[in-house]
Amino acid sequence: MADQPNAPNVDRGILVFCIWSVLGFLGLAIVLEGFRLDSWALSAGGVATVLFAFGAHMIVNAVFATGFSRGETALGIGAYGLLGLIFVLGAASGSMSQPDYYAGLTFFGALAAGFIAYLSTRHGLRGAFSRFHVKAGTQQGAAE
């Protein structure tokens, strides 16, 4: 079954789950502790842990010669959007301290830079741009 092209790779799924359940939640806990203590350095350590988990996930993808699954992509983009909304609402309410504000900017800036780095290493700079830019009339099934 593992030789079939569309068969799910259980080993990869277990590795990815373990990476995010350990490193992802640990990083989130460190970030939240940094918010609680108003410590940018502690929050930045949590961000580094989350980025380490992202890098480990990319290494697993490279070892298994796969990319991110549609579910992983949807979860990542959805979580990024939800956390971004929460950050914007917190900043707009004026209840965030300056270290919390800088920690949030560090978190979102680092994740955006990681996303750009992933696209450029996976597809090259031209290929990454082509993933988002589609010329009119080149879509399959377009009306002629």
Residue 144 CB contacts under 8 Å (≥ 6 apart), including other chains: none
Whether the CB-CB separation of 66 and 6 falls below 8 Å is answered with no
Domain boundaries, the chain: 10-70+79-131
Confidence (pTM): 0.74
The token pair at 59 is 């290494």
pLDDT string in tens for the chain (144-residue length): 445 555 568 999 999 999 999 999 999 999 999 989 999 999 999 999 998 998 899 899 889 988 888 888 888 889 888 988 988 998 899 888 999 999 989 988 988 888 787 777 776 766 656 666 666 655 554 454
